[in-house]
């Protein structure tokens, strides 16, 4: 039996069309989970915990926001690395400035980019604080970048924070 070349071409084009439709509709392909929405929701939980811990200045609450190997560039001197040193640095600051009070802390994240279990966020960070009850309030507006690390339970923690 001889096949007409025109029929072969029509069947081929029809197959391409069906394949294109199926691929775009996701038919017959493994479902790829879009984790962006879940990641953004988990990061928002981290942001809420960050604001709450910053306002109360509890060293333990601040420390648990960090990944085990996190790096904090916000303390004077050399970077603070790891949760053990982070907890000690927060406790030392609290002991040195027992009356330090954060009156306002508002992180405004303007962009988040994801890459293989990491997130980079940039934004503006406004805060007002008093070193002691008798001091006038000090307001700061910083720009900064924070590197976040996805944890095994799908939560996110700070891995690197640097503000300018």
pLDDT reported for residue 76: 87
Query: pLDDT by residue (tens digit) across 112-133?
Result: 999 999 999 999 999 999 999 9
**4: exposed, middle or buried (C-beta count within 10 Å: 0-12, 13-18, 19+)?**
exposed
Tokens of 149: 């690390």
Q: Distance (Å, rounded) from C-alpha 51 to C-alpha 98? A: 19
Strand-strand pairing, 118-130 and 101-115: antiparallel
Compute how many other C-beta atoms are within 10 angstroms of the C-beta atom of residue 57: 17
For residue 157, give the nearest of 79, 46, 40, 41 by alpha carbon.
46
Residues in the chain: 164
Question: Reduced to 3 states, what is the DSSP secondary structure of residue 26?
Answer: coil
Question: Given a cut of 70, is residue 17 above it in pLDDT?
Answer: no
If pLDDT is split at 50, 70 and 90, which confidence band does 22 have?
low
Query: pLDDT by residue (tens digit) across 24-52?
Result: 555 554 544 578 999 999 999 999 999 99
Q: Distance (Å, rounded) from C-alpha 94 to C-alpha 54? A: 12
Q: Distance (Å, rounded) from C-alpha 80 to C-alpha 92? A: 12
pLDDT more than 90, % of the chain: 74
For the segment(s) 36-163, the CATH number from 3.10.450.50, 3.20.20.70, 3.90.470.10, 3.30.2290.10 is: 3.10.450.50
**Entry pTM:** 0.78
């Amino acid at each position: 039996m001889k096949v007409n070349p025109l029929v072969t071409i029509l069947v081929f084009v029809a197959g391409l069309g069906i394949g294109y439709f199926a691929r775009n509709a996701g038919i017959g392909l493994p479902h790829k989970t879009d984790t962006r929405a879940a990641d953004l929701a988990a990061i928002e939980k981290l942001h809420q915990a960050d604001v709450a811990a910053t306002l109360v200045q509890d060293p333990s609450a601040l420390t648990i926001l960090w990944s085990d190997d996190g790096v904090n560039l916000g303390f004077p001197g050399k970077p603070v690395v790891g949760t053990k040193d982070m907890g000690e640095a927060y406790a030392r600051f609290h002991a040195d400035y027992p009356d330090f009070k954060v009156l306002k802390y508002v992180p405004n994240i303007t962009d988040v980019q994801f890459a293989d279990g990491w997130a980079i966020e940039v934004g503006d960070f406004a805060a007002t604080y008093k070193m002691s009850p008798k001091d006038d309030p000090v307001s700061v507006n910083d720009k900064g970048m924070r590197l976040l690390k996805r944890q095994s339970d799908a939560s996110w923690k700070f891995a690197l924070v640097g503000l300018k």
